[in-house]
Amino acid sequence: MMEWIVSILLIAGALFMLVAAIGVIKLSDVYMRMHAITKAASLGAILMLAAVLLWHPQWIVGIEALMVVIFVIFTAPIGTHMIARVAHRMKVPKGDGYIMDELQDELDRQQKEGEETL
Amino acid sequence: MTLEGYPILTFAVYFSFASLTVSLFAGLYRLLTGPSLPDRMVVMDLIASLVIGLILTYIMQTGQTVYLNVAVVIALLVFMGNIAFAKYLKRRIEK
């Protein structure tokens, strides 16, 4: 029974990572690719860590798996946020289908009112 | 604990290896043809996640849980690399 659960978790994690890679190829600009990578790859890593922890139920494995999960969950959004901000600042061309760009609106407003931009 | 005597888990491990390898080649394609520098940084993030997945699958295959340390270190180093890249690019833009 445990073998089935661990196998399903492992395959699900690998498939989520495959979905992230397909998203990297198919999607059309930087921001959409960030959307694909950050969520799908983090969830895949968490599922595979759960599989390892269920197959080796020891304290040290649990602590280290928890450390990896915490690092992935807390650091992936911060790093992606900084990259997205730099990409917006570098004026990387956007794909089709965007209906709003709040950072650009804010920068335009600050420039119009003469405030110092961040 | 190795994989002998667990046929379903053996299939899962090899399926996972194959899937992660295909994902690595997809990331390599985007790394080589990425139109801009932020594309390549984002793909480095994906490749780090894939390497963590490969390490976890290797732990399942061999039963050596020591390799979890490598996963911890990679998860930390990628964050540091992203922050450093972003800072450097921001400074280059402001010049």
Which domains, from first to last, does chain A contain?
2-113 (1.10.287)
**Which ipTM score applies to this complex?**
0.87
pTM of the model as a whole: 0.88
Domain residue ranges of chain B, discontinuous segments joined by +: 7-94
Write down the residue that tokens 């992660």 correspond to.
B20
Is residue B34 within 8 Å of residue B43, measured between CB atoms? yes
Q: Which of B3, B15, B23 would best serve as a mutation to test chain A binding (most A beta carbons within 10 A)?
A: B23
**CA neighbor of A2 nearest in space, from B25, B17, B5:** B5
B34-82 confidence digits (pLDDT tens) = 788 888 888 888 899 899 999 999 998 888 888 999 989 998 898 888 8
Q: Give how far B68 is from chain A: nearest CA, Å.
A: 7
The residue ranges of chain A whose pLDDT is under 50 are none
* Tokens read off for A50: 């759960």
What CA–CA distances, in Å, run from A2 to A5, A51, A54, B1, B77?
5, 10, 8, 14, 33
Please state, rounded to an integer, the average pLDDT across all residues of chain A: 86
Nearest to B6 among A3, A17, A83 (CB): A3
